[in-house]
Chains A and B, each alone.
Chain A
Amino acid sequence: MNDFAYVGKPMTKPDIYGKVTGEAKYTDDLVIPGMVEGRILCSPIAHARIKRIDTSKARALPGVLCVLTHEDCPKSRFSRSTMAEALPEFAFTGERQDQYILTDKVRYVGDWVAAVAAEDIYTAERALELIEVEYEPLAMVLDPFEALKPGAHVVHEDCPNNVAFEMDHPFNCGDVDKAFAEAIAVAEFSGVSSRQKHLHLETDIAIAAFESDGRLVIHSPSQGPHLAKKHLTKRVFPDLEDGDIRWISPAIGGGFGARLALGVEPAAVLLARACRRPVRVTTTREEDFQGYSSRTDQHQAIRVAADKDGKLLAIEQIIVADSGAYLSHSATTATVNMQKTLGVLKCDNIRGHLTVAYTNTPTTSGFRGYGNAEGAFVFQQALDRLAEKLGMDPMELRLRNLKVPGDPSCFVPVPLAHTKLEECIHLAADKIGWKDKWLGWDAKKEGRYKRGIGMSILTHASGAGGFLLEHSSCVMKVLTDGSLNLIVAPCEMGQGILGALAQVAAESTGLKYELIRISTGDTDVTMFDIGSHASRSMLVIGNAVAAAGVKINEQIRERAVSLFEEHQIRLTKDDIQVKAGQITSPKAPGISIDVGRVAYAAIYDFGSGGSQLNASGSYQSTSHHPNHQAAFAEVEVDTETGMVTVLNYVSAHDIGRAINPLLVEAQMQGSLVQGIGFALTEDFVIDPETGNVLSDSLLTYRLPTTMDVPEMEHLLIEDPLDDGPFGAKGCGEAGLVNPAAAIANAVYDAVGIRVHSLPLAADKVLWALRHGEDIAPGRSAVSGQYL
């Protein structure tokens, strides 16, 4: 047992008080003196050239300050993804900066045509209606497979084949053809992940204001304001320098990856420049549905082969991803899919290819799970099919192919250092009763309601060391009462990272948890950091905090030596301990000194030793520290309606150490329910005739509610990671990877059908039940079997 004061305990996270009292301030709650309202005119058609825009009526409306079109935009192109600024130049040669703020050629329903600023929101809305646009419609292409055919309608003139990005599989190795030829069993599954919407309840918003010295202040809910600032200056407004912008992320009303791309900030800046007033640009929920943020739909075919003992001999993975109208996170998520999805198991013969296509549909992006959830849905079903062909327990097939430390890691060319996936599988399997509940491939189920069980395993990131710019720095200062100001860069989207970092700070400094005060979200205050994503904050930022914390701890111990001398006790700093705000020593029993005395004395020193206790800490991750998870789902299928209900879900997570088990559980529960939505109900539908988004409200796009929550249990395997702060790995993203895959395998166990597209909506399940999957009609095809 450790004797931590705070690490491993369910401490209350500091930001929750403002959230239950209504006092937390989000961007929409801020009022800048003189602020006016900005709105954006979105295209009603999917593909057209703008022949003429007449803004005169809108400009003549009293209260309208400016109306801007493509003619008023900088002539530099950008991508909504800010990731280019976190990658080395050579790493991502396919990066395309392919859009302007306002366009003269619309490429999807929702593309930005014009922007207005007005004294109030009602006037701004009215002004949008008064803008006259004459469109010259162009033939559109909505399906990525159609887009990739020779002679397809072109989305971007400088990209005549509509290929936004392509690459061979990063794991290409061995002799795949030979391995398939020699295999005893070969199985294949193909399927497409859906465009799951992030559905952060706070819709996209930004406030831009120029200060009297010409400096630009942006308030917006960014997951990575330093990166966004760099991107905005380098790509969108090249006349601005990094230091010209102060970017503040207030409380964030949900992120899930969406806030890692630029939202309305460029439009807010453009309007603020034009009308010389602070401008707040807001968007509606309907615009959010039609807009530029969803998971990327990735069409995949995965073929696997094994020998008679279930040793995985070969894998082939083909992906066609739909970028939508512009390239944002679709290429990077699909790349991560290839690495993470196949990286969970050992295999010496791998081949594959990725193609990312432009279409006249909303731009797709990155979503929690970042490619891995998309990939697991297909790969984990292909594995089950392989196990079925071998007549083998699907858990046994996975166990026989797990990586062990020393095997190639799934991300960068370094060996895997740490994995507890095998323990995770056994723990979760025992908990859910796999041995009793999985009845073999030939099990017959009777009755209208049929139950089944399925599993899935994953490996995911704790940051992308060796690939992205994975460093972070923090600053600490101790006040006279023994409280600590921690200046550190994560973005609190609700994941609880401020609480976890406060625990790391309190533990490493020896100060009281309740007296850790965190300043974050303001690029003028915090140090450079690429933002909160890829489950990186706990590992990378946590290590930076711990690095500063031990310095503060040492300073306190050094200065405490003289305080013990007051008690006629001679000690060195190494004899002294600081914990939970109290200074003690085993050599001075009965004496406990409040750290506030040291901190006060350090500042109120009128001699020569005066200095506030302060330290900075930095950390750069250069390696890969994957976390792992095994999950099991039990479902019930109503064979009369096709409705799938998740009854029970058990997962076990290889977390290194849980800094705060309550926060970890909160992340797991939340990501599971998002995963249930991804698996069963969240259906993003585009009208094939017009390209319009049909699922444009919470009535037509169904999120899970309280009524959809199953029994669930999230177990932790804690084996401290050498490189983690107090041994911790990341955890926030992983929970969304397994649910759809495990549920899909459970549905097959229940009723013997596999649906090839997400979500496993009742109508699709019913169709498959009635017709059998072999005759299910194809929508578009990697292997011709989409439903």
Chain B
Amino acid sequence: MSKRIGSFAVNGKKRDTIIEPHMLLVDVIRDSLGLTGTKRACASGNCGACTVLADGQPVCSCLTLAVCSQDKALETVEGLRAADGTLHPLQQAFIEHCAAQCGYCTAGMLMTSKALLDANPRPSREDVKRALSGNICRCTGYVKIIDAVLDAAQKINAAREVAA
């Protein structure tokens, strides 16, 4: 059991903290780095609540050893907002559609959705359902979450077209 300094690139910032070989990424993110928006819910990779992005890919941080994540660009829910505090279109759409109830799955839903929209800016409803099928929500019945993701995709695309 050797303690060492671990270096993480989280939400575009370099963060150093003491880690041990057995530590999980979710525990380092929450307990060492204080980013408690990411949730522990099943600790076995079955519910998706702990989803963060590693080099743009959604991963279950409860199944990932912290030591293996040091060379990856990590994104958590706290990094979704723009630098000026503006909410990400996904966050805005979740608010408008009332797509969060208890909120425990929400960070995972948002991060999985972001990975989807980054890779597939114009997803069909079926695409969204498939992308989110590994994220469990016990409260909403999913409808408003799916609606919100599709709405956000549309708004992101519209903004891109205006910019172009």
Q: In the assembled complex, which residues on chain B have CB atoms less than 8 Å from the CB atom of A10?
A: 98
Instruction: Give the segment of B2-10, B38-46, B65-73, B156-164 that binds chain A.
Output: B38-46
B37-88: which have CB < 8 Å to A?
37-44, 46-47, 49, 76-78, 80-81, 87
**Distance (Å) between the CB of A650 and the closest chain B CB?**
14
Structural contact, B47 and A698, CB atoms closer than 8 A: yes
11 inter-chain pairs at a CB distance below 8 angstroms, sorted by A residue, are A12-B95, A15-B103, A20-B91, A20-B103, A198-B138, A493-B102, A669-B143, A673-B140, A699-B44, A707-B129, A707-B133
* Any A CB within 8 A of the CB of B139: yes
Q: Residue among A10, A21, A666 with the most chain B CB within 10 A? A: A21
A11-29: which have CB < 8 Å to B?
12-13, 15-26, 28-29
Q: For the complex, give the distance between the alpha carbons of A15 and B136 in Å.
A: 21
Q: For the complex, give the distance between the alpha carbons of A200 and B47 in Å.
A: 11
**Distance (Å) between the CB of B94 and the closest chain A CB?**
5
Say whether, besides A200-B138, A285-B41, A672-B141, A22 and B98 are in contact (CB < 8 Å).
Answer: no
Structural contact, B144 and A22, CB atoms closer than 8 A: no
Which residue in chain B gives the minimum CB-CB distance to A707?
B133
Q: Residue among B76, B133, B139 with the most chain A CB within 10 A? A: B139
Structural contact, B98 and A16, CB atoms closer than 8 A: yes
Structural contact, B44 and A669, CB atoms closer than 8 A: no
Q: In the assembled complex, which residues on chain A have CB atoms less than 8 Å from the CB atom of B107?
A: 22
Q: Is the interface of A mostly helix, strand, loop or mixed?
A: loop
Say whether, besides A669-B143, A703-B136, A285 and B42 are in contact (CB < 8 Å).
Answer: yes
Structural contact, A21 and B77, CB atoms closer than 8 A: yes
Q: Residue among B78, B133, B142, B143 with the most chain A CB within 10 A? A: B143
Q: In the assembled complex, which residues on chain B have CB atoms less than 8 Å from the CB atom of A22?
A: 35-38, 76-78, 107
Q: For the complex, give the distance between the alpha carbons of A475 and B145 in Å.
A: 35
Q: In the assembled complex, which residues on chain A have CB atoms less than 8 Å from the CB atom of B35?
A: 22
* Any A CB within 8 A of the CB of B101: yes
Q: For the complex, give the distance between the alpha carbons of A437 and B90 in Å.
A: 39
A-B contacts besides A15-B103, A22-B76, 13 pairs, CB < 8 Å: A13-B98, A19-B103, A20-B103, A21-B87, A22-B107, A200-B138, A202-B39, A254-B139, A285-B43, A666-B140, A666-B144, A707-B129, A709-B129
Number of interface residues of A (CB under 8 A): 55
**Distance (Å) between the CB of A281 and the closest chain B CB?**
15
Structural contact, B136 and A25, CB atoms closer than 8 A: no
Structural contact, B143 and A254, CB atoms closer than 8 A: no
Q: In the assembled complex, which residues on chain A have CB atoms less than 8 Å from the CB atom of B78?
A: 21-22
Structural contact, B36 and A254, CB atoms closer than 8 A: no
> Interface code B91-116, partner A: CB below 8 Å = 1, 0 otherwise?
10011101011111111001000000
* Any A CB within 8 A of the CB of B130: yes
Structural contact, B105 and A201, CB atoms closer than 8 A: yes
Structural contact, A494 and B144, CB atoms closer than 8 A: no
Q: In the assembled complex, which residues on chain B have CB atoms less than 8 Å from the CB atom of A685?
A: none
Structural contact, B42 and A24, CB atoms closer than 8 A: no
Q: For the complex, give the distance between the alpha carbons of A781 and B12 in Å.
A: 62
Which residue in chain A gives the minimum CB-CB distance to B36?
A29
Structural contact, A697 and B44, CB atoms closer than 8 A: yes
Q: For the complex, give the distance between the alpha carbons of A12 and B95 in Å.
A: 7
Q: In the assembled complex, which residues on chain B have CB atoms less than 8 Å from the CB atom of A21?
A: 37, 77-78, 80-81, 87, 91
Say whether, besides A29-B36, A669-B141, A709-B142, A698 and B136 are in contact (CB < 8 Å).
Answer: yes
Structural contact, B41 and A16, CB atoms closer than 8 A: no
Structural contact, B143 and A712, CB atoms closer than 8 A: yes
Q: For the complex, give the distance between the alpha carbons of A24 and B101 in Å.
A: 12
Structural contact, B91 and A202, CB atoms closer than 8 A: no
Which residue in chain A gives the minimum CB-CB distance to B144?
A666
A184-214: which have CB < 8 Å to B?
198-203
Q: For the complex, give the distance between the alpha carbons of A20 and B77 in Å.
A: 8
* Any A CB within 8 A of the CB of B132: yes
* Any A CB within 8 A of the CB of B146: yes
Q: In the assembled complex, which residues on chain A have CB atoms less than 8 Å from the CB atom of B46?
A: 697-699
Structural contact, A663 and B98, CB atoms closer than 8 A: yes
Q: In the assembled complex, which residues on chain B have CB atoms less than 8 Å from the CB atom of A163?
A: none
> Interface code A590-612, partner B: CB below 8 Å = 1, 0 otherwise?
00000000000000000000000
* Any B CB within 8 A of the CB of A170: no
Q: For the complex, give the distance between the alpha carbons of A198 and B100 in Å.
A: 18
> Interface code B15-43, partner A: CB below 8 Å = 1, 0 otherwise?
00000001000000010000111111111
* Any B CB within 8 A of the CB of A670: yes
* Any B CB within 8 A of the CB of A583: no
Structural contact, B138 and A254, CB atoms closer than 8 A: yes
Q: For the complex, give the distance between the alpha carbons of A493 and B102 in Å.
A: 5
Q: In the assembled complex, which residues on chain B have CB atoms less than 8 Å from the CB atom of A16?
A: 94-95, 98, 100, 103
Structural contact, A709 and B133, CB atoms closer than 8 A: no
Say whether, besides A19-B100, A20-B95, A494-B100, A201 and B38 are in contact (CB < 8 Å).
Answer: no
Q: Which of B41, B81, B138 contacts A674 (CB 8 A)?
A: B138
Which residue in chain A gives the minimum CB-CB distance to B145?
A706
* Any B CB within 8 A of the CB of A251: yes
Structural contact, A23 and B143, CB atoms closer than 8 A: no
Structural contact, A496 and B138, CB atoms closer than 8 A: no
Q: For the complex, give the distance between the alpha carbons of A468 and B20 in Å.
A: 52
**Distance (Å) between the CB of A202 and the closest chain B CB?**
5
Which residue in chain B gives the minimum CB-CB distance to A30?
B36
Q: In the assembled complex, which residues on chain B have CB atoms less than 8 Å from the CB atom of A28?
A: 36, 39-40
* Any B CB within 8 A of the CB of A256: yes
Q: Which 5 A-B pairs have the closest CB atoms?
A: A22-B37, A494-B101, A19-B103, A494-B102, A673-B141
